[in-house]
Amino acid sequence: MLMRLLCGGIILFWTASTAWLIRHDVLPAFTARDVPRFSLDHLSSRRAQQSQARIEDKTGRRVGTVWSVHSATASGVSRRDVFWIEHFSMIPMLRIEVSSDFAQNGRLDTFNLKLFGAGERVEIEGEDISGNLAFRLKVGRQEQLFKVDASAVGMIGDLFRPFPTLPQIEVGQSWRMHVVNPLAAITGIGSKLIPMIVKVTGTEQLATEDGPVECFVVETDQGARAWVDTDGNVLRQEVDAPIGGHLTIVAEPFDQERLNHISNVPLPSGEM
């Protein structure tokens, strides 16, 4: 029962989590800007099309891996994310597969998330319907429906990687995001939405395996940080997760063979 509630809470977090970036609700002290959006123009490089990052806990131990693959479609951009979580807190071994389709203006059009390893069916479907993003959360035989104003959704991130990509940012740019509080989703106590202010605070050299890289530094008022190169690739990010504590997500070379293997690992998923 605990595992069911935990997985359901985490998935609810990833869905909405995932991160609602509000385009026009920015504090007066900051300059209002559009939320960074990924478009066809950003698919020119191999690195933009395919990215991979390792997920480390506070001790530096690898607890998971995330892969992202962007591709052009007739209507815009499609993104496929695969998360492999293998040593994370009290969570069992999980594979999360996410498919997202974006219109040419970068706005989310459809969203589908499936979790394997929870022992029962866990899936989230989202679709833009008449200006609203309607979501359906399925956990076992139970379903929950919720919706948000599609015009208010700029980007979807996730617990294990808040920022998938941040193209065309500049120092001083800022926006507000709201994330779902997974503890509130599980216990019913506290606010389910936690507001965060995101700001590009400056530039900094980041040491990488390929040498130092000049990066934009992106920070939130909740302590998350990201280092982004001039092409919008997020090379490193740090976040304090509600479950599992401090996480560091570091970009690494894309391993297609490993992704193929992980995608075919049999994990219990219940009836689908």
CA–CA gap between residue 159 and residue 182 (Å, rounded): 10
Number of domains in the chain: 1
β-pairing, 173-180 vs 31-32, is parallel
Bridge partners, 245 (sequence order): 241
Q: Examine residue 268 and state whether it is found in any structural domain, yes or no.
A: no
> What are the φ and ψ backbone dihedral angles of 122, each rounded to 5 degrees?
-135, 115
Is 90 exceeded by the pLDDT of residue 137?
no
Answer whether residue 116 is part of any domain: yes
The answer as to whether 229 is a domain residue is: yes
Q: In the chain, pLDDT over 90 holds for what percent of residues?
A: 29
Using CA atoms, how far apart are residues 245 and 256, in angstroms rounded to an integer? Answer: 29
With a cut of 50, say whether residue 272 has pLDDT above it. Answer: no
Residue 156: inside a domain, yes or no? Answer: yes
Q: Is residue 272 part of a domain?
A: no
The pTM (predicted TM-score) of the whole model is: 0.79
Is 69 a member of any domain? yes
Residues 6+ apart with CB under 8 A from 74: none
Q: Domain limits at 259? A: 2-263
- pLDDT at position 31 is 41
Q: Which position has the higher pLDDT, 14 or 249? A: 249
CA–CA distance from 88 to each of 145, 191, 220, 244, 269 (Å)? 28, 25, 24, 7, 19
Per-residue model confidence as pLDDT tens digits over 170-207? 999 987 766 544 334 434 444 544 567 889 999 999 99
134 or 4: which carries more pLDDT confidence? 134
Least confident of 42-51, 135-144, 224-233: 42-51
